[in-house]
Amino acid sequence: LQLHTHWPMSNQADAWYFRNYATAILAPLPENSVLIINYDMQWTSVRYLTQCERFRPDITVLNLSMMTYVWFYTKRHLYPHLRWPGIYCSAPNSAAVTRGDMYGRKAFTLEQFISANAERFPIFLGGKVSHPDPLLDEKFEFLPVGLVSRIIPRAMAPPAVEYAQTTQLALQAVLSPLSKLPDLNKYPETTWEWTIG
C-alpha cells in the first residue's frame, strides 16, 4: 500500500531536471568564461555537471558567497589564471576594503575583481550581487544571456541587432536541454524541482 500510494511521487527515474538546468546555464557561454554564481540551486547543479560529468570544464565557476569569507584566500591557488585584487570579496567602503586586516591585507570588491579580469575572460553572473556596488553599476552593464547575465564594460555594450542575435542563440541553447520541465503537480512548491519549473 505504501509503495502503491507514494510511487508516483517517489519515482525519479526520469528526473534529469537539475542536469538539464545546469546544461542550460552552461551551454550558451563562450569558451573559457568565468561564471560567478550567487544562487544555491545554480551552484550545486553547475558544480556537479562541470566537476563530475566534465561538461564545459573550460568554464571557471566561482561561488560569490564563498568568495566573501576570509578563508577564501586559501582557495585562490585553485584559480591561478585569475587576477585577485585582494584577499577576499567584501562590500564597497567596508573596513576590510578600505583599511585591510592587521597584516595590511585588503579585501576587494566585486567591481575590482571584474575590472581585473574583464579584458581577459567573458564574465557572467548567476543570481544577484550580494550588496550594492555603485561603481560596479556605473562601469558595467549586465546583459541577460540565457539564464545568467554577462558583465561587460558599458563602453563595450553591443549594438541592439548584435545583442538580439546573441540572445536568440542563447535562447536556443537554453531551450534544448530544458525542453521538458518538471511536472508542477508532482513537485509542489516545497521542492527544488518546482523552482526550475
pLDDT for res 20: 95
Amino acid, res. 185: N
Q: What is the per-residue pLDDT across 65-124, written as a single tens digit (0 to 9) for each?
A: 999 999 999 999 999 999 999 999 999 999 999 998 888 889 999 999 999 999 999 999
pLDDT for res 75: 94
54 vs 56: CA distance, rounded Å? 6
Sheet holding 140-145, edge to edge: 60-63, 34-38, 123-127, 148-153, 140-145
Residues sharing a CB contact under 8 Å with residue 101, sequence separation 6 or more, in sequence order: 70, 87
What mean pLDDT is predicted for residues 124-148?
Answer: 94
Query: Residue 28 in contact with residue 52, Cβ under 8 Å?
Result: no
Q: How many CB atoms lie within 10 A of CB 48?
A: 14
Residue with cell 560569490: 64
Select the more confidently predicted residue: 114 or 188.
114
The confidence band for 185, taking pLDDT boundaries of 50, 70 and 90, is confident
What mean pLDDT is predicted for residues 154-158?
Answer: 89
Closest CA to 164 of 143, 147, 179, 148: 143
